[in-house]
Structure 1
Amino acid sequence: MAVPTEDSERAPLLAPSSSSTTTTIADESVSTASEDDFTEGSKISALRGIVLGACIAILIFLQTANFSMMTTIQSAIAVDLDAFQNASWFTSTYLIAGSSITPLAGRLCHLFSPRAYILVSCLIMAAGALIASLSPRLAVFLLGRAIHGVGGAAIFPVSLILIIELTNVKRRGLYIGCVNTCYTIGVACGAIITGALEPVTGWRGIFALQVPLSITMGIGIFLAIPSSIFSKHTNIINPGHLPNRLSQIDFLGVLLLITTTVLFLYGLSTPQITYSTIACSLITLLAFLFIESRPYLSTTQPILPLPILKSPAVLLTCLSTLSAMIARWSILFYTPVYALAVRDFSPAKAGLILLPTNGGFALGNLLLGYFHVKRAGSFYTSCLVVYLLFSLSLLVIGSITTREVEMGWYYLAAGVNGFTIGANMIYTLTHVLHRTPKESHFIVSSLLAMFRGLSASFGSAIGGGVFSRILTQALREGFEDRGFPLEGKEELIRRLLGSPALVGRLVGVEREVAVEGKKCSCSALLGPENLHGGSSTSLTRGMSS
């Protein structure tokens, strides 16, 4: 095994020589593509490109709308299914299922091609949305959300794979910015649109509308991508029949990863932290790492390629992305709650609070993707700068989350927050692609998508648990301080946990206590989020330039 030196660790893994070279990444020798391989992408016609871009954009919108729409329709779902105390799992179930499956995306694209994988994924998305729309009780609804999340897991990694394969390096930054912009449009507009649609169609109608859209977009992408484009990438692992290809999938690793994620997040998201569940998640995590480090025990293609993760650039990029996006998703999930409960906004207007931060996210991606990211090289210093600015914006937002602050200042802070994290997404992705060989980009893009999805799961589940615990304590103390017996208020507290919109229908002392409790919860949750930004900055400093 070659021992890396300091110089070799900081040298780009994509060697700029005119011929192909061999690069060692953590015990695995892989062939590195020459710089010339990144100058031109595969060619498709203009019509195919337009259809492909439109279908991908709509799919991204559908996926990310499912992230944010629960902030404005969860009250209606909680009332219909009597699930006030489990409201945080409406989003968490979707995100956990998707992020647990995402690492398989690169493997499945290798085995079956992106066009086949995305078509099947869209059919799975449609099935999940249909089950959710028809669900008579909470368990069935969560099952539908999980299936929906599994289908949506393909969208981000396949989008990156298409960009890597079909674009040249000078335009790659712009197209990555466009993908990230579509994501932020979905997050921003999803809450607004569903908040406006819910009184008309009901929450079940919102899920039902996604069924034909998912199927149509999947067929459109399948037809728009010529089968010859990815023929050189498919069947290279194990050519042959379907059973032979499926035998390469690490099903045991998938099961252990999902179990670890669910147990850990469940233990932190419950009204009282369940340490026994967290301990069980650590046991399954150790079993997962043991299996993944010994592929012969399960499969020749482990779900997490540990040799690639041993590369400092890949590992620290993934960890810094996880840390920063946990803070980012807490902002996206709980600023609408702040608007609903503390500022007394309507559901549709509460969704508007996401426009500045998501608009900034889009600008950060598009402007920097068009004007700055025009080469396959290092963006180490740029990553550090935007991480520091992101941390400062989090500190400001946490300090001004009050009832008295002028909303113009809040919108400005949120816009800066979005711009910096948007810049961060495009810089870190371009940097890690520079630091890894082209043959591993399918897997690296899936790893980044997994950590990005896990951050949303952590931000939703853990943030939901913290929010619920602080809110419960604040409400109980508020009623006790005003001389009300808790026995008569427990049902109201239970309903307030899952229905932010309920605050607007209260009057008198009940409304006063509810508003104060929601304000304390939002401030306590959003205030410490700058620690995540600070930790992500520290991790970024370890990324090789």
Structure 2
Amino acid sequence: MTDSAPIGRARIGERDWILLLGLAVGLLASELAETVFATALPTVAGDLGHAAQLAWITTAYLLAGTAVMPVYGRLSDRAGRRPLLLTALGLFLAGSVTGALAGGFATVVLARVIQGLGGGGLLILVQSVVADTVEPRRRVTVMSGIGAVFAVAAVAGPVAGGWLSEHVGWRSLFWVGIPFALLAALVVWLRLPAGVPTDRAAAEPPAPLRLFRTRDFTTTVLATGLLAVAAFGSIAYLPTYLQMGLGLRPTTAGLVMLALVGGLAIGTVLTARLVKRTGRTKPPLVVGSCSAAAGLLLLAATSTGAGLGLAVAGLIVLGLGVGSAWEVAVVVAQTSVGDDAVGTATSVHSLGREIGVVVGTAVVGVWFTARLQSLLAGQLDDQTVRSLGPATLDALPDGALLVVHQAYVGALAPVLAAVAPLALAAAVVFAALRSGKLARVRTGAPASEADGGEPGRIERADRMIR
């Protein structure tokens, strides 16, 4: 079968389950590549003599991955999923090997860019393959299973990253995803047919911009973006905060971060039950955003001598907030448009969310490192500052160690307090949703129209934009 040949949509069977499991393994590799570095950032940057530029290790991956998301989606609609998946996995593998063999900080950053170019396509392509191979009534179940990959990466990544960087070395963080990516590539090559589905071969991709003529869709994208900037921009640097500000070992910091994951899990489960029973989406969105802001303020109040209690409480409250709002926002974005535009709405909403994560990570990182350099200037010599990391803290005299702890807390705490109002702004925007309740049955119309609100069909919006 050639790449240009169309393929049919079959009921899911043994072949498809093997394919979906292989794709989940590949997605796990890309997610681990992002999360394992959370607790290892100070170690990598300190070992390579670039502690003040540690933000680039995370930002490079996120920027590259977000930039290519729409490219992968559009090209795969035309050329088929398999060649784009193999390309994404190949780039991820190339970046992993480059990073593992890197001799300097610039090469590590380049490796993260290459990894991101591959990893950024995997989520979009996996969702597209699910749409191609799984019948609609079973698709939610399959997507929930694939969504569990993110939970596994969120739990295992920081812990594994801390342990590996402390006991094996930070280069192992690049090697760890290679077996998963190779297995995924083999499954894709052997199990995924070439070409495009028969029902999409002649179809023109929908125009994403027309979705923004629907008020609730635009509101949801904007609010989710604000929440992403505040919450995920901060989360990327919390393991560094725990290690360098509170003096925890990398492995211990990874374990403490499980408080955040626990809050996420509890918030997600409780909110899912609430929405299923009542159909109301606005309360968890508003309350969740406010909870995220409260968690950031609690973390900002943590000081070197305050102990772990306040930090753990802040992580739990932040996790509860994000867990309450994050997945509900996806459902609201999908139901705010007609059934014929659900796929496009999902991809546009995901892209907006990732842009928020990238912007937040970059802004918090630059602001944090700038403050850190300012606070350490004149306190320690330049060589000591460049090589700061968990492994070098033990060699510092007590006076210098206290200076480092206070500098890291003094650098990040005000930034956390400053971005917390963005989460509150997200709550205000969510409160402006026109429709706050999901319909019991699918009507083919946006939720606002199905519930008796102002009509907001995409067809009407398309005419308006033209």
TM-score band, normalised by shorter chain: 0.7 to 0.9
Is the partner of 1:313 in helix, strand or coil? helix
Matched ranges for 1:338-487 at <5 A: 338-366=241-269, 368-369=271-272, 372-373=275-276, 379-399=281-301, 401-476=302-377, 479=379
Would you say the 8 A contact 1:132–1:145 is kept in 2?
Answer: yes
* Distance change (3 Å), C-alpha of 1:503 and 1:364: same
* Distance change (3 Å), C-alpha of 1:453 and 1:439: same
Q: Encode CA deviations 1:486-531: one digit per residue, 9 max, x unaligned.
A: xx723323434xx355334311221121111112123112222321
Q: Deviation of residue 93 (structure 1)?
A: 0.8
**What's 2:416 paired with?**
526
**What's 2:159 paired with?**
192
Query: What runs of 5+ residues in structure 2 fail to find an aligned partner?
Result: 1-8, 436-466
Q: Deviation of residue 193 (structure 1)?
A: 0.7
Would you say the 8 A contact 1:171–1:374 is kept in 2?
Answer: no
Q: Encode CA deviations 1:49-76: one digit per residue, 9 max, x unaligned.
A: 5434533443333222222322333344
Q: Deviation of residue 409 (structure 1)?
A: 4.6
Q: Deviation of residue 87 (structure 1)?
A: 1.8
Q: 2:11 aligns with which of 35, 43, 48?
A: 43
**What's 1:492 paired with?**
384
Would you say the 8 A contact 1:67–1:91 is kept in 2?
Answer: yes
2:118 is the alignment partner of 1:151: yes
Q: Deviation of residue 126 (structure 1)?
A: 1.0
**What's 1:100 paired with?**
67
**What's 1:126 paired with?**
93
Q: Deviation of residue 416 (structure 1)?
A: 3.0
Structure 2 counterpart of 1:390, one-letter code: A
Structure 2 counterpart of 1:325, one-letter code: A
**How many angstroms apart in 2 are the aligned matches of 1:305 and 1:132?**
36
* Distance change (3 Å), C-alpha of 1:227 and 1:532: same
**What's 1:54 paired with?**
21
Q: Deviation of residue 77 (structure 1)?
A: 2.9
Structure 2 counterpart of 1:489, one-letter code: D
Matched ranges for 1:295-334 at <5 A: 305-334=208-237
2:79 is the alignment partner of 1:112: yes
Q: Deviation of residue 177 (structure 1)?
A: 5.0
**How many angstroms apart in 1 are the aligned matches of 2:213 and 2:96?**
38
Is the partner of 2:40 in helix, strand or coil? helix
CA RMSD of aligned residues (A): 3.1
Would you say the 8 A contact 2:208–2:345 is kept in 1?
Answer: no
How many equivalent pairs are there?
A: 426
Superposition TM-score, scaled by structure 2 size: 0.80
Matched ranges for 1:215-230 at <5 A: 215-221=182-188, 223-224=190-191, 230=197
Would you say the 8 A contact 2:46–2:386 is kept in 1?
Answer: no
Q: Encode CA deviations 1:344-397: one digit per residue, 9 max, x unaligned.
A: 21111111121111122234335544674499x773444233223333333333
**How many angstroms apart in 2 are the aligned matches of 1:489 and 1:140?**
26
Q: Deviation of residue 80 (structure 1)?
A: 4.8
**What's 2:443 paired with?**
none
Matched ranges for 1:13-32 at <5 A: none
**How many angstroms apart in 1 are the aligned matches of 2:309 and 2:428?**
31
* Distance change (3 Å), C-alpha of 1:44 and 1:456: same
Would you say the 8 A contact 1:59–1:155 is kept in 2?
Answer: yes
Would you say the 8 A contact 1:81–1:138 is kept in 2?
Answer: yes
**How many angstroms apart in 2 are the aligned matches of 1:54 and 1:338?**
36
Would you say the 8 A contact 1:188–1:355 is kept in 2?
Answer: yes
**What's 1:10 paired with?**
none
Would you say the 8 A contact 1:132–1:204 is kept in 2?
Answer: yes
Structure 2 counterpart of 1:188, one-letter code: V
* Distance change (3 Å), C-alpha of 1:198 and 1:397: closer
* Distance change (3 Å), C-alpha of 1:475 and 1:529: same
Q: Deviation of residue 95 (structure 1)?
A: 0.6
* Distance change (3 Å), C-alpha of 1:310 and 1:516: same
* Distance change (3 Å), C-alpha of 1:344 and 1:195: same
Query: What runs of 5+ residues in structure 1 fail to find an aligned partner?
Result: 1-40, 238-300, 480-487
* Distance change (3 Å), C-alpha of 1:393 and 1:197: closer
